[in-house]
Amino acid sequence: MKKFTTFIGLCIILVSFIITTSYANDQITDKQIYQLMDKSGVTQSIEGLPLQLQAMGQQMALTAKNPVEHERFMQVFVSSFNPDVMLKKMTENIRKNVSLAELQAILSWLDSDLASRVVSAELQSTDPKFQQNLMLYMAELQSTPPSPERTKVIIHYVESSEIVEQGMNLMMTMLENMFEALKVTQPENVELATQLDAQLEQMAVNIKPAMEQQMVLTSYFIYRDISNEDLNEYSHFYKQATGKKYLSLMVGAIGDGMSEWGISLIHQISKEKS
């Protein structure tokens, strides 16, 4: 149970990496969709995910009761993730869920100076040393805490962008995929399946406070060089129709891609057992 609890904590961190870089029509070209994914930072984020997964596995190994079993599972877990397949699935999802006018409005915003600086800041989360750097920054905040005004701006951003809610959606998708994979390893264990289903429902309630805390702390670090004025403007963007569409579009696409990953994970685990 301790190992699983550690895994949940690392998943919350992993989702915070992904969600911070996230923020059908025959007339829409592949080039426009690729521009959206590149300019939003999502492409780089997904391509860097295998390194994040490996880092998660290394941290989990520190508390694994059976290192050999853990290593075998992580090999399957990481190898089941294919960035190219996930990006292709995301592209298909985006095409089905945005109009040409909406996409053009989003691309126009991404071309702005503020968007460019914000995306550049958010891409820090793709660095394999991101968690280490974040922890060092948090230690600094203890001796030099942010001003009340900065705290207000950060919390306003977290609430305006709804990244906690969107992160929860991604988190639950990841856990559901993981639980289904665990069921495949013991298909005859009805009790395990029942327990996992019950835990999934409970986690939807229990994980949110930890997710909210992680998003706030991550935002302090990621946007440390973005002024209060600019961050307020960024928050305002997510209150507008274009901003809401942008966030729901990218998170929806990532969720669809992660579901594809879950299918691949289940297939690989089944193959290992046969």
What is the rounded distance in angstroms from the CA atom of residue 206 to the CA atom of residue 201?
9
User: CA quadruple 169, 85, 271, 76: dihedral positive or negative?
Assistant: negative
What's the pLDDT at 24?
A: 46
Q: Over the stretch 134-148, which tens digit does the pLDDT of each residue have?
A: 889 999 988 999 999
Average pLDDT, the chain: 83
Structural domain spans, the chain: 2-273
What's the pLDDT at 92?
A: 93
Q: Is residue 68 a contact partner of residue 146, using CB atoms and an 8 Å limit?
A: no
DSSP labels, 161-219: HTHHHHHHHHHHHHHHHHHHHHHHHSTT-HHHHHHHHHHHHHHHHHHHHHHHHHHHHHH
What's the pLDDT at 97?
A: 93
Q: In which residue are the tokens 């990218």 written? A: 250
Look up residue 206 and give its two tokens.
């229990």
47 CB-near residues (< 8 Å, 6+ apart): 83, 87
What is the rounded distance in angstroms from the CA atom of residue 120 to the CA atom of residue 10?
24
DSSP one-letter code for 23: -
User: What is the band of 11 on the pLDDT scale with cuts at 50, 70, 90?
Assistant: low
* 53 pLDDT above the threshold of 80: no
Q: Over the stretch 241-267, which tens digit does the pLDDT of each residue have?
A: 999 999 889 888 888 888 777 777 777
Q: Over the stretch 172-208, which tens digit does the pLDDT of each residue have?
A: 877 777 677 777 777 888 888 888 888 888 887 788 8
User: What is the band of 15 on the pLDDT scale with cuts at 50, 70, 90?
Assistant: low
Which of the given ranges, 5-9, 208-212, 245-249, has the highest pLDDT on average? 245-249
Query: What's the average model confidence in pLDDT over 157-186?
Result: 79
Residue with the bigger pLDDT between 227 and 197: it is 227
Query: What's the average model confidence in pLDDT over 53-65?
Result: 74
pTM of structure: 0.76
Residue with the bigger pLDDT between 146 and 70: it is 146
User: What is the band of 154 on the pLDDT scale with cuts at 50, 70, 90?
Assistant: very high
User: What is the band of 150 on the pLDDT scale with cuts at 50, 70, 90?
Assistant: very high
Three-state DSSP class for residue 158: helix
